[in-house]
Chains A and B, each alone.
Chain A
Amino acid sequence: MDDRKYGWLTTAVLAFVLTLIFVFPTGKALAARPIKVGLIDAYSGGAAAFTKPALVAWRIVVDEFNAKGGLHGRKMEIITRDTKFKPEQAVSDARELILKDRVDFLAGTISSGCALAVSQFAKTKKKLFIVHIARSARITGEKGNGYVFRGCPDTDIEGGAGGAYAATKPYHSWYIIGDDYEYGHAIAENFWKGLVKNKPDVVKVAEVWAKLKETDYTPYLTALMAKKPDAVYAAFGAADLISFTKQAKLFGLFEKVPVFEYALGDSIFPAVLKQNMPVGAYGGINYLWYYPDNAANKAFVERYREVSKKEGHPDLYPSGLGSFGGYCSAKFLTEAILKADSVKTDKVIKALEGLTIQTALGPIQMRACDHQAVTPTFWGETANVPGYPFPVLKNIVMTSGDKVIPSCEEIAGERKKAK
């Protein structure tokens, strides 16, 4: 054999081997290419108290999905990005996740501002985006679009349920105080609407808005107590809820006036507030780890404890804001993928519309018209109950979502007006 012939042979063999490497296994790799979910959220800063429990809940659902073989052997994978609570960052994260990591779906965020920004971006990129913590009603209301879903409640549901609950109490004059921010205004407005609807003779003594991240509520508290209202509705987002509650407790507000605070019933707040957690206040939340006291909820709590420990973030009490919202959103997505038998955006969207998932609280439906999950809300009085590590809710009242959620026609009207 001369050198030239030898060279041809080498080339042929090389070409054959290369073909094997590139074509054959690629086909196989394609079949097993994971389903990627880009989870965009604020993981640094105080928000981590909510976003990390939500991530644990995503792991529970994803592990379960993968253990059952995924979608025809395709496993699901979560890629996280830290928005640092900034909408611009959230959008650039979303862009990178789509272009570089080639994610199939987007999920997030705790911030309503980020959620609104990403939902506009998702629409232009035709990617499905599921919101798991952010509450602004506009996300699935006037600013909603065909690509955005929400697996957690919004301010319409939570505010309305709070109002309906408060209407059953004998308080006539109300003082409203809250964050001068989208969330505060939205939840207070829906609370008032719900209250007036069920009890038309109530009076609003005052409506006061403190700046976001206010550190000193002293003058607000003294001014509030001077007005002597029958009851107070406090509409604060997570971080300010902590500051306000702590200082209100210092001032003895809870002993003087009945105070209603949505989210105060969540497990996160007593864990942070400790001895500053008030008793005898009215608190609400979308999920309670101890109620309903049934097998499904117990199993969920057990599983959550296990996975959070495995994730290096041991947490005994799954929260409503973080864990349960994350759980429902992840569950909606995986169930829809299985139902659609595809990861194609349009097919999964179709499967999600009207989909009902089974949760620790029973079935929860994703409404087809606005892509908002119809979730229940729980309200009760905070109390020290023997056997619990911190004050929990007692005399719990559940309001189902369909009683308080705005109708599809109302949402359609809002969207039309916004255009």
Chain B
Amino acid sequence: MSLDLSMLLVQFISGLTTAMVLFLLASGLTLVFGVMNVINFAHGAFYMLGAYLAFTITQMLSGSLGFWAALVIAPTVVCVVGGIVEVGLLRRIYDKEHLLQILLTYALIFIFNDLIKMIWGVNLRMVNLPPSLKGFVTFLGRRFPVYYFFILGVGTSVAILLWLLLKKSRFGKLLRASAEHRDMVGLLGYNVRTVFTLVFMMATWLGGLAGAVIAPTVRISMGMGMEIIIECFIVVIVGGLGNVLGALLGALLAGELYAFGILLMPNYAMAFLFIFAAVIIIFRPYGLLGKTAQGVS
């Protein structure tokens, strides 16, 4: 097989799209861990909910309008649900050990699965591609669907906005401070509880957005959240728990490793990712960009 440039480029873009979806999910996961010190197994459930909501909205409003509406409404609804979960359940276990948190968030997966079964039933659902994002981009004699460039755009925008929010805004400073000196922030007169609720809502919004964005390219089914969350955990661990920039780096590495693994040695592509993660865990247990002490950066 001749490895010409255009082929490599296409495979690279392929890996980027995979990376962006992973990043959208992993950023929420890492944010919640970094600030709140909670391992949220249920993150995939919010992603699934986003996809199902996108399905309903595109059923009600056809064409491109339905898709854009879904892109706005689905993450918003998911983020409200996230707020309810934080206030009603998570808030009660912050000072408990990780094991209890895992039990609770794991239980949430089952609760969400059953809720989805009650509302949407068990049939597989499909969201159609919005007409305005159909078609292909042709470059170097190869075609790539426009929609995947849209995914790239959404992922990049989210990355930039998150970075600005965390580094440049007052809220971002508050977040970083809450992560490292929870009590101090409280003593200074800020309501740490509200900060936590807002962070969790932000994370679930990102999860919902990932679900809505991915919806037109996948089959929507129960358990779709579980199928992707393991890879997201790997991304988060490789990048450094709690580190948003690390999540981006981890997602990019995972996506490209996967894409080129498939091009060169397709039957070991999955193994590459896990071997890479294992090496990182052994030599840099706190991740590529993680600090020994956790925190949002």
In the complex, chain B residues whose CB is within 8 Å of the CB of A216: 17-18, 21, 217-218
Contact B126 A272 (CB under 8 A): yes
B residues 1-15 in Cβ contact with A at 8 Å: 1, 7, 10-11, 13-15
A250 to B21, CA, bound (A): 17
Partner of B217, one of A44, A48, A247, A274: A247
Residue B167 at the chain A interface, CB threshold 8 Å = no
Scan B201-221; emit 1 where CB is below 8 A from any A CB, else 0.
000000000000010011101
Q: Is the interface of B mostly helix, strand, loop or mixed?
A: helix
Q: How far is the CB of B267 from chain A (nearest CB, A)?
A: 6
Q: How far is the CB of B120 from chain A (nearest CB, A)?
A: 12
Scan A194-225; emit 1 where CB is below 8 A from any B CB, else 0.
00000000000010110101011011111101
Scan B1-43; emit 1 where CB is below 8 A from any A CB, else 0.
1000001001101110110010000000000000000000000
Given A46-B124, A48-B122, A250-B129, are A223 and B223 also a contact pair (CB < 8 Å)?
Answer: no
In the complex, chain B residues whose CB is within 8 Å of the CB of A252: 136, 143, 145
In the complex, chain A residues whose CB is within 8 Å of the CB of B15: 219
Give the interface size class of chain B.
Answer: 35 or more
Residue A273 at the chain B interface, CB threshold 8 Å = yes
Residue B222 at the chain A interface, CB threshold 8 Å = yes
Contact A215 B128 (CB under 8 A): no
Residue B270 at the chain A interface, CB threshold 8 Å = yes
Select from chain B the residue with minimum beta-carbon distance to A275.
Answer: B128
Residue A27 at the chain B interface, CB threshold 8 Å = no
Given A218-B17, A250-B129, A272-B124, are A46 and B266 also a contact pair (CB < 8 Å)?
Answer: no
A residues 44-59 in Cβ contact with B at 8 Å: 44-46, 48-49
Residue A246 at the chain B interface, CB threshold 8 Å = yes
Residue B52 at the chain A interface, CB threshold 8 Å = no
Select from chain A the residue with minimum beta-carbon distance to B11.
Answer: A222
Residue A120 at the chain B interface, CB threshold 8 Å = no
A223 to B14, CA, bound (A): 9
Select from chain B the residue with minimum beta-carbon distance to A241.
Answer: B219
Residue B263 at the chain A interface, CB threshold 8 Å = yes
In the complex, chain B residues whose CB is within 8 Å of the CB of A242: 124, 126, 219
Contact A44 B122 (CB under 8 A): yes
Given A246-B219, A247-B217, A250-B129, are A219 and B262 also a contact pair (CB < 8 Å)?
Answer: yes
Residue B286 at the chain A interface, CB threshold 8 Å = no
In the complex, chain B residues whose CB is within 8 Å of the CB of A206: 266
Residue B227 at the chain A interface, CB threshold 8 Å = yes
Residue B258 at the chain A interface, CB threshold 8 Å = yes
Contact A215 B263 (CB under 8 A): no
Residue A227 at the chain B interface, CB threshold 8 Å = yes
Residue A243 at the chain B interface, CB threshold 8 Å = yes
Q: How far is the CB of A110 from chain B (nearest CB, A)?
A: 13
A213 to B219, CA, bound (A): 10
Contact B219 A243 (CB under 8 A): yes
A274 to B129, CA, bound (A): 12
Interface residues of B (CB under 8 A from A): 1, 7, 10-11, 13-15, 17-18, 21, 117, 122-124, 126, 128-129, 136, 142-145, 147-148, 214, 217-219, 221-224, 227-228, 258-259, 262-263, 266-267, 269-270
Excluding A219-B269, A252-B143, 19 further A-B contacts by CB distance (< 8 Å) are: A44-B122, A46-B219, A49-B124, A208-B262, A209-B267, A215-B228, A218-B17, A218-B18, A219-B14, A223-B259, A223-B263, A239-B221, A246-B218, A247-B217, A251-B143, A251-B145, A252-B145, A272-B124, A276-B126
- Give the top 3 A-B pairs by smallest Cβ distance, nearest first: A219-B259, A208-B266, A222-B14
